[in-house]
Structure 1
Amino acid sequence: MRISKVIIAYFITSFLLITSLRAQDRYQATWESLSRYKTAEWFRDAKFGIFIHWGVYSVPAFGSEWYPRQMYLAGSDEYKQHIATYGPQSKFGYKDFIPMFKAEKFDPAAWVALFKKAGAKYVVPVAEHHDGFAMYKTSLSKWNAFDMGPHRDVVGELAVEIKKQGLIFGLSSHRIEHWWFFNGGKKFDSDVLDPKYDAYYGPAHEENESMSPEYMNDWMMRDMELVNNYQPQLVWFDWWIEQPALSPYKKSFAAFYYNKATDWNKEVVINYKNTAFPENTAVLDIERGKQGEIRPLPWQTDDAIGNQSWGYTTNNTFKDARYVVTNLIDIVSKNGNLLLNIGPKSDGTITDQETQVLLGTGKWLDVNGPAIYGTRPWGIYGEGPTKSASGAFADQKDPFTWRDVRFTIKGDTLFVTALGLPDAQLSIKALSIKSGNGKIASVKMLGSNQKVNWKQKDDALLIEPSKTYPSEYAVSYAVLFGQ
């Protein structure tokens, strides 16, 4: 039986067309192609996640998670502390902390249960910090938690438990900064100079030295291995990926990751800082700071409960739950998410201070979650006398008060949240009759059946204080408009 040339041509044309369409659906390693990215809806809905800085640096527990760098910088507090406690760096180096990092009380199920009780919707453990010690099982380095120290695949165990308990799993890589992280140890007699440990302490170049193609390729290979092995739905990068030389590798990784997400039929997020990615190709993250106004594109604050350190130290001080809750509300009203960090101890336990902050935050979200989860910014983020911090490394120095209100919206419901518990009449100018934002039909307090006494006047919506409130720190009202 003969097949006509017309039929053959038809099938060839159809095959080429389908192949072409499929190729168009795939991301290419160009900023133009990557600009098709749309922020994951799960991320926009989640609003609140947990960051985990845990590694070998929790053993010395002094200064901060930058101890491994600082201990090799002559004259620093960490340098002096190290010699006084452990001896000279030539005899006892950072590598010698690894056998002391046992994580004997690490219970991933208990950790995730706590995060879930805190109201978090996603969890982002640090897969590898600047110190170059991988907290996961890797084929690219023997310096990892599976082959040394705890002898456990920490990231892998957390990934399984996070997904099992219904949260979104992400991870962070701080690997790129390792290029220069241990360079202080080359300037005096230390174990960084011992060629036996080049595979760990190296390259230890100066910050102004251009990265080698081999190093940048290794960075990308490690990130790809993490994606392939653990299927994270969020990958967070620290600031130094903004180096221009890394641009082709960033584009290649982003295309690879976004295409993997298509294969998995899942939505994913890349977090970057500063200008490391064009803003419409990934999601901006602001360290220990926030936006002063609504940002049209979704964004994220990464902040720590600990004030001095992201990792565990014995002298860290901590934010309280009220600070976390009121700033979460402020961030969400401006189209942002909060990624809140904890720093567990070297044995795998979470500090009592951080535990109490997490539980306090979760208790508030149990009542007021509808004003946070799944919401979107309104026309304005809020009003009130207290100036909001803005930018990176900008803590909220002036505490919010109940006279400060924030707006979020979901469907037909406008949520109005006072960043405190009003003990006098609450006046909201943006919801006055003259504002033109609509005639109010009802005002109800979340978590309570008690009647809310309110009146919409020409110059403001007035809400009378309640005798009791269903939660601490802040109160949310659901506002519906009439015709």
Structure 2
Amino acid sequence: MRKLLMAAGLALIGMNAVAQHEEHPYIPEPDKAVQQKLDEWQDWKFGMIIHWGPYSQWGVVESWSLCPEDEGFTQRKPYGIPYYDYLKKYEALGKSFNPVKFNPEHWAKAAADAGMKYMVFTTKHHDGYCMFDTKQTDYRITAPDVAFSKNPRANVAKEIFEAFRKEGVHTGAYFSKPDWNTEYYWWSYFPPKDRNPSYDISKYPERWNKFKQFTYNQIEELMTGYGKLEILWLDGGWVRPEKYQTAESRTWGTTKAQDQDIDMPKIAAMARSHQPGLIVVDRSVHSQYENYRTPEQQIPDKPLSYPWETCMTMGGSWSYVPNDQYKSVNTLIHNLVDIVAKGGNYLLNVGPGPDGELHDAAYTTMKGIGEWMHVNGDAIYATRAVAPYKDGKVCFTTKKDGSVYAIYLLDDQEKLPATITFKGLTPAKKARVEILGGAKSLVWKTVNGSTVINIPSAMQGKGFKHAVAIKISAVEKV
């Protein structure tokens, strides 16, 4: 069940990044300002995504229990409850939502201290509940009948973006293209059958045009009223033009795939007129507006030739679950190193609770990551992939100045070994080789084509944890 929940949270199930690259070539964005921003984004490496909404009150998977598909991740509780009875109770959650401990400065400080350079917040998930002060619908946290609406910080998206920017963290807006609350997508005249529109778009084009305008208006609100935003992260990849349908996307849902064209050229042009250089991530729709790709809950087996980001949960669920089990700091750092060595970014999810606070485990986990990043961040930030990328327990990254980092992954409780050996890269003559946090030049040699670095016994006992980064000032050219 938990694996199903994790796979479903961002609605991109079974995505294989390598296969996608082979079947669907990446289309570069011609806008020079976007190209520049993408290059900067690739320097950031580590970010935070936050799933939060009224559904956190029940501790259930975000939005998906509303979807009338018979999948593990769409099941309603208690099991057997009639659909419309459940829908009524779910929608009422928006009115009772009252996160009285909401303190985005606390989140932002923890993220910055963890070394996260950017963040993405769920302004609206598939259920249509808006965590910003939209004028397009009353299904929003600032509506007069919502418990939290009288709070001076009720426009939570704005508060969150401002708090993170004050900590020097770049900001991005998650926005769900499908909206299961509006009459323009799930028209109540027809009962919804699956995640797709409840009506035939070709038969009722005027209704679809109203949905397109509704979507455009909401995105323009975000682009104009919430300060500088650098990423527009669009989810719900089944909303796409017919020409971009794939064999996989046609299997999403139970009804025939429709031409769900929301006019991305018009949306992107508008958004960038307000936010020049904006990165647009139209997830899984392999067009000009998928500026980077987002393998979900997985790390590709090999480097990819285009900009990419693994999005993954810190715990077991995208949204808040009581007593969620968090991945160890060791696992998360190993993931980060592996991803960065393959040229990607790591976007790590945390789901706040119904009171507006994060799990204690989220804070302790971020603190542990931050302690490692404080010492080793130079081997992560502003680096690029370099062949052979990884050899055994050693991952490689490189800086623009030609220096290389060999990052040795330590198992839990493993002490730094007496020697670290790898193939594929050889330090140049007179190159300085040192461990970050060690401040001592290391002795190395070549043995049977492998580089062998000696680690002094005093350094072995220094208590290094998770991974050690060895900086090599220059390497021999192959």
Measured after TM superposition, the shift of residue 260 of structure 1 is 2.8
Task: Find the aligned partners of 2:85 and 2:311 in 1 and give their Cα distance.
Answer: 33
Are the counterparts in 2 of residues 383 and 404 from structure 1 also a CA contact under 8 Å? yes
Hey, what's the Cα distance between the residues in 2 that align with 1:45 and 1:162?
Answer: 18
Distance 1:45 1:99 in 2: 41
1 CA distance for matches of 2:28 and 2:429? 44
103-112 or 354-363: which moved more? 354-363
Over residues 148-186 of structure 1, what are the superposed CA-to-partner deviations in whole Å (9 max), with x where a residue is unaligned? 242200100011111222111111001425389999998
Contact 2:315 2:324 in 1 (8 A): yes
1:177-192 counterparts in 2 under 5 A?
Answer: 178=180
Rate the CA distance shift 1:47–1:314 in 2: closer, same or farther, 3 A. Answer: same
* Equivalence for 1:163: 165
Corresponding residue SS for 2:473: strand
Question: Aligned partner of 1:240: which letter?
Answer: W
Q: 2:55 aligns with which of 54, 57, 61?
A: 57
Per-residue deviation, residues 42-80 of structure 1 (Å, max 9, x unmatched): 312111111000001101113x22354169979988434
Partner of 2:238: 240
RMSD after superposition = 3.6
**Counterpart in 1 of 2:342?**
334
Which has the larger share of helix?
Answer: 1
Which residue identity is paired with 1:226? L
Does the 8 Å CA contact 2:98/2:147 hold for their aligned counterparts? yes
One-letter amino acid matched to 2:363: T
- Aligned counterparts of 1:241 and 1:70: Cα–Cα separation in 2: 15
What does residue range 4-403 of structure 1 map to in structure 2 within 5 Å?
34=30, 37-38=34-35, 40=37, 41-62=39-60, 64-66=61-63, 68-69=65-66, 78-81=75-78, 89=85, 92-147=88-143, 148-151=146-149, 152-176=154-178, 178=180, 205-206=197-198, 212-230=208-226, 231-238=228-235, 239-244=237-242, 245-247=259-261, 249-262=263-276, 267-278=277-288, 282-307=291-316, 309-314=317-322, 316-384=324-392, 403=393
Matched residue SS, 2:221: helix
Match of 1:14 in 2: none
Aligned length: 413
How big is the shift at 1:248?
Answer: 6.0
Q: Is the 8 A contact 2:422 2:451 kept in 1?
A: yes
> Among the aligned pairs, what percent are the same residue?
24
Secondary structure of 1:319's aligned partner: coil
Partner in structure 1 of residue 424 of structure 2: 430
Q: Does 1:462 align with 2:462?
A: no
Residue in structure 2 matched with residue 472 of structure 1 by the alignment: 465
Return 5+ residue gaps in structure 2 as ranges: 1-26, 243-258
Distance in structure 2 (CA, Å) of the matches to 1:430 and 1:272: 37
Aligned mates of 2:183, 2:62 — CA distance in 1? 12
Among residues 400, 405, 412, which one is paired with 1:415 in the alignment?
A: 405
Query: Does the 8 A contact of 2:396 with 2:404 survive in 1?
Result: no
Instruction: Supply the distance in 2 between the matched residues of 1:327 and 1:117 (Cα, whole angstroms).
Output: 19
Aligned amino acid, residue 472 of structure 1:
K
- Paired with 2:66 and 2:183, the residues of 1 have a C-alpha distance of 6
Alpha-carbon shift at residue 142 of structure 1 (Å): 1.2
- 1:271 counterpart letter in structure 2: V
Deviation at 1:207, TM superposition (A): 8.9
CA drift of 1:89 comes to 1.4
Deviation, 1:39, is 5.1
How far apart are 1:33 and its partner, in Å?
7.7
Give the 3-state SS of the residue equivalent to 1:456 in structure 2. Answer: strand
Report SS of the residue matched to 1:240.
coil
Give the aligned residue type for 2:263.
Answer: Y
Decide whether the 8 Å contact of 2:69 with 2:195 is kept in 1: no
Return the alpha-carbon distance in structure 2 between the equivalents of residues 428 and 203 of structure 1. 49
- Note if contact 2:418-2:460 (Cα within 8 Å) is conserved in structure 1: no
Provide the rounded CA distance (Å) in 1 between the counterparts of 2:72 and 2:416: 51
In 2, are the aligned partners of 1:406 and 1:417 still within 8 Å (CA)? yes
**What letter is aligned with 1:163?**
R
Paired residue type of 2:409 = L
Give the counterpart letter for 1:111 in structure 2. W
- Find the aligned partners of 1:145 and 1:291 in 2 and give their Cα distance: 37
Is the partner of 1:242 in helix, strand or coil? Answer: coil
* CA 1:410–1:77: 2 relative to 1, 3 Å: closer
Task: Find the residue that maps to 1:224 and give its secondary structure.
Answer: helix
Normalised to the residue count of structure 1, the TM-score between the two structures is 0.76
Q: How far did 1:481 drift? A: 2.6
Judge conservation of contact 2:132–2:157 (CA < 8 Å) in 1.
yes
TM-score by length of 2: 0.76
8 Å contact from structure 2 (residues 311, 349) kept in 1: yes
Instruction: Please tell me whether the aligned partners of residues 184 and 211 of structure 2 are also in contact (alpha carbons under 8 angstroms).
Output: no
Q: Is the 8 A contact 2:425 2:475 kept in 1?
A: no
Shift of 1:354: 1.8
Where do 5+ consecutive residues of structure 1 fail to align? 1-30, 385-402
2:256 alignment counterpart: none
